[in-house]
Structure 1
Amino acid sequence: MIPAETVRSLRMMAEAMTPQMPMSADLLTMLTDDVESNGPISRLLADHPESGTPLFPMRALAGVKLLVLTGRAPELAHHLRGMMEHVGDPAYTARSRDLFRRALLDHPDDIRSALDRPVQQHQPGRSEYLLRGMTMLAAPKVRLLEIGACAGLNLMVDRYRWFGRGWEWGDAASPVRLAAGGPRPGDIEIVDRAGCDIEPRNAADPHDAAILRSFIPPEREVEELDLNNAIALAAESGIRVEKADAVEWLREQLSHPGEPGVCTVIWHSLFWWYLGSEDQTAIEEILAEASERMQVARVCYEPHAWAGAMRLQVVTYP
C-alpha cells in the first residue's frame, strides 16, 4: 500500500517539476492519479514490500526510461524524439501518457525489477557542492569518503574541469566540464578516496550505466551528456564503490588514526533521509568519536526533509 503521505510528496514534486520538466511532471501526475484511484499501475506497484518508502513510484518512471534506453519500447523512444517541438501540445501530452502507460503495463517483469532498485539520481554536477564545502574547509589535503556513493562519480570531483566566475579548477583535460558557483577553490589534493553503497553501480558495466541513465528525465539532455562523460571517465579510472552498510563501513574506515595534515571529509547527497533515525545518530556518534584521532568534517547536500529545499551543510568536529 502506497501511503497518503507519499502521494502528497509526489504531487508536490510534480508541481515543482512542471516549469522545467513539464512532460515528466505530467507523467508523474498520471502515475499518482492511478495510485489514488487504485488503477492498473497502482496494482503493479502497491504489492511491492517497499511501496511505502519515499519516492518509490519514481522507480517505475526509471523502469520505463530503461526500456527506452535498451530498445524495448521503440514506439515511445521515437515519440520522445519530438518532445522539445511539442511542449504544451495537448495531443502530444495525451499520446505521451498513452505510450508510457502501455510500456509500463506491457513489461511487468521489467518494471518489477526496476521497483527492486533504489532511486539513484547520480548527476556529476552535484559534486559542485562537495567542492564548495571543501573550499570552505581550506584543507590542503583531503581523504574523501562518500556514503551512498552509487558509482562513485562524486568521488572524482578533482578529475572534472570546473568553470566559475573568473576561475577554472580541476583537470584541464577532463571530458567532464561543469559550471560552478562560489569562490575559486584553493590547492586541494585528494590523497585517498573511497565510497560505499548498499546497491553500488559499476560505471564500466553497460547495464549498470544504463540504470544510472534511467533516472535522468528525458528533458534533461545536457545533464545526460554530463552523466555519459562522467560514466566514461569513471570506467576509465577504474573507480569502484564497496557494497556495504554505511554505518558499519564508516566505523571501519574511521577506526584508525588519521594522517597528520589530512582532513577526512565524509560526503553524502540525497542520501540522509533514506536512513532511519538510529543510523543517523550512529553516524554522528562515529564522526564525533573519530574526531579524537583525526581531523574530520561532514559535507552534505541534502533537503531538510523529503520534498524540502536542498541545502549545503559543512560540519566540523572539534
Structure 2
Amino acid sequence: MIPHEGMQGLNGMAAAMTNSLPVSGGLLSVVMEDISDGGPISRIICDHPDAETPLFGLRVLAGVKLLVLTGQAPELAAHLEDFMSGQTSVDYVERVRRTFRETITEHPDEIWESLHRPVQQHLPSRAGFLLRGLGMLGAKKVRLLELGACAGLTLVPDRYRWFGNDWQWGDENSSVRMPTDGPCPGDINIVERAGCDLSPRDPANELDRMILRSFIPPEREVEQIDLDEALILASKSRVRVDEGDAAEWLGKELLSETESGTTTVVWHTFFWGYLNSEKRSEISEILSAAAKHMKLARISYEPEDWGAVPHLEVTVHP
C-alpha cells in the first residue's frame, strides 16, 4: 500500500487535473480508487519503489497510453477517441473507466516496465524559455550544454520558427512553428551544443518516439503535433545527447575549450526537482569552479516544487 503522504500527493494531482485535463484526471482517479480499495491495479503497481513519488501517477497514465500507441489496447483507443470527441454520457464514461482498468490488469508486465521510466514530458515549446533567457543574456556566440536533455528538442531553438508579438525569429523554413512571449532575442549564434540524460531518447527510434508521445495527455493535441514535428526535425539534426550522470558529464564538458568570445550556457528545465541536495550542490560547485576560466551562465526554467508554476532564472557567473 502507498503511504498516506504519497496517496495525498497522487489524489492532489488527480484533483488538479480535473479542470485542465479532465480525461487524464478522471483516469488517474480510477487508479487512486483501485489503490484505496486494494484492487487489482494496486497489486500491480504499489510494490514499485517509486510508488509514493509525486509523478508516479503520470508514469501509470503514460504506460497505458503507450499500450494504445503500440496497438495493444484497441478497445481503449476507440473509446478514448470518442470520449475526446465529446461523448460524455454517464454510461459511456463508465465504459471508458472500465476499459482503462482492464487494460492495466491485462498488461501487468508492460505497465510494470513503464513504471521504471522517468517522466519525460519533453516539449519543444520549452525552448522558448531558453530563447528568452538567451535574449536577456545578450551573448552573441553561445556554447549550449543541457542537463536532462532527453531527445535534444530544447537544444535547437534556432532551428525552430518563433512568432513573438511583433517579431519572428529562427529558421524561416522550419516545420516547427510556435508562438512565444517576450522581446525579440536578437542576434544569437549557437556555435556548439550537447546534452546529457540518464535515459536519453533517440528521435530516430520509433519506440523512443512513442515513449515521448505517451507522456503527452490526450487533451494536449497541439503539443502532440509540435512534438511530432520536432522529433522529425531532431532525427535529421542529430544533436549529441550522451547517457550519463549530469554532474560527471558537465564536469568533463566544461574542461574543453571554446571559441574565442563564446559564452558557455548551461540550461535545464523540469530537471532540478529530480536531484537530491548533494547532487545539486555538486553541480553548483562545478559551475563556480568553471566560471574562473570561462564566460559562463546558467539558464533554468524550473518549478520550486512539483505542481508549482515554473519560473525562468538567468544567472551570470562572475
**TM-score in terms of structure 2 length:** 0.96
Equivalent residue, structure 2, for 1:144: 144
- Asked if 2 retains the 8 angstrom alpha-carbon contact of 1:258 and 1:295, the reply is no
Q: Which residue is 1:301 aligned to?
A: 301
Aligned to 2:213: 213
Matched residues in 1 for 2:9 and 2:131: separation? 30
Cross-structure match for 2:226? 226
Secondary structure, aligned partner of 1:57 = helix
Q: Does 1:45 align with 2:45?
A: yes
Range with greater deviation from structure 2 (85-94 or 21-30): 85-94
Q: Contact between 1:86 and 1:92, CA under 8 Å: does it hold in 2?
A: no
The one-letter amino acid paired with 1:75 is: E
Moved more, 30-39 or 220-229: 30-39
The one-character-per-residue Cα deviations of 1:203-236 (angstroms, maximum 9, x if unpaired) are 0000100100000111111110110000000011
Report the CA distance between 1:31 and its aligned residue: 1.4
Superposed CA offset, 1:83-117 (max 9, x none): 23326533332222111111111001111111111
Correspondence 1:97-176 to 2 at 5 A: 97-176=97-176
**1:241 CA drift (Å):** 1.2
| Distance in 2 of aligned mates of 1:289 and 1:246 | 16
Q: Which residue is equivalent to 1:181?
A: 181
Residue 196 (structure 1) shift: 0.4
Q: Distance in 1 between matches of 2:286 and 2:97?
A: 47
Q: Which residue of 1 aligns with 2:271?
A: 271
Return closer, same or farther for 1:276/1:118 CA change in 2, 3 Å cut-off.
same
C-alpha offsets along residues 111-170 of structure 1, whole Å, 9 cap, x if unaligned?
111111111110111111111111110111111111111111101111000011011000
* Alignment check: 8 A CA contact 2:193 2:240 kept: no
Which letter maps to 2:299?
Answer: V
State the alpha-carbon separation in 2 of the partners of residues 315 and 32 from structure 1: 40
Bigger mean CA deviation after superposition, 40-49 or 240-249 = 40-49
RMSD, aligned α-carbons: 1.5
1:96 aligned onto 2:88? no
1-structure distance, mates of 2:294, 2:89:
58
Bigger mean CA deviation after superposition, 249-258 or 74-83: 249-258
Shift in Å, 1:71: 0.6
The alpha-carbon deviation at position 3 of structure 1 amounts to: 3.3
The 8 Å contact of residues 5 and 52 in structure 2, kept in 1 or not, is answered as no
How many angstroms apart in 1 are the aligned matches of 2:152 and 2:223? 17
> Aligned to 1:155, what secondary structure does the other structure show?
coil
Q: Deviations over 1:212-270 (max 9, x none)?
A: 00001111111101100000000111224110100100111112344331111111111
Deviations 1:18-39 (A, max 9, x none): 2221111111122123233332
CA–CA distance in structure 1, aligned partners of residues 87 and 15 of structure 2: 16
User: Greater CA deviation, 104-113 or 40-49?
Assistant: 40-49
- For 1:197 and 1:300, the matched residues in 2 are separated by 16
- Contact 2:148-2:246 at 8 Å conserved across structures: yes
Take 2:240 and 2:262, find their aligned partners in 1: how far apart are those partners? Answer: 22
In structure 2, the residue corresponding to 1:113 is in which secondary structure?
helix
Matched residue pairs, number? 318
**Between 41-50 and 96-105, the greater mean CA deviation after superposition:** 41-50
> CA, structure 1 residues 272+123, in 2 after alignment: closer, same or farther (shift >3 Å)?
same
Displacement over 3 Å in runs of 4+: 256-259
* Structure 1 segments unaligned to the other structure (5+ residues): none
Distance 2:6 2:131 in 1: 32
Contact 1:272–1:280 (8 Å) recurs in 2:
yes
Which has the larger displacement, 236-245 or 140-149? Answer: 236-245
Q: Could you say which residue in structure 1 is the equivalent of 2:72?
A: 72
Which shifted more, 250-259 or 66-75?
Answer: 250-259
Structure 2 unaligned regions, length at least 5 = none
Distance 1:87 1:132 in 2: 40
Letter in 1 for 2:85: E
CA spacing shift, 1:20–1:50, aligned 2, 3 Å: closer
**308-317 or 9-18, which deviates more:** 9-18
Cα separation, 2, equivalents of 1:288 and 1:87: 56
Give the SS at the match of 2:56: coil
Provide, for residues 27-85 of structure 1, a one-character-per-residue CA deviation record: whole Å limited to 9, x for no partner.
Answer: 11221232333322122111123323331221111011001001100001111111233
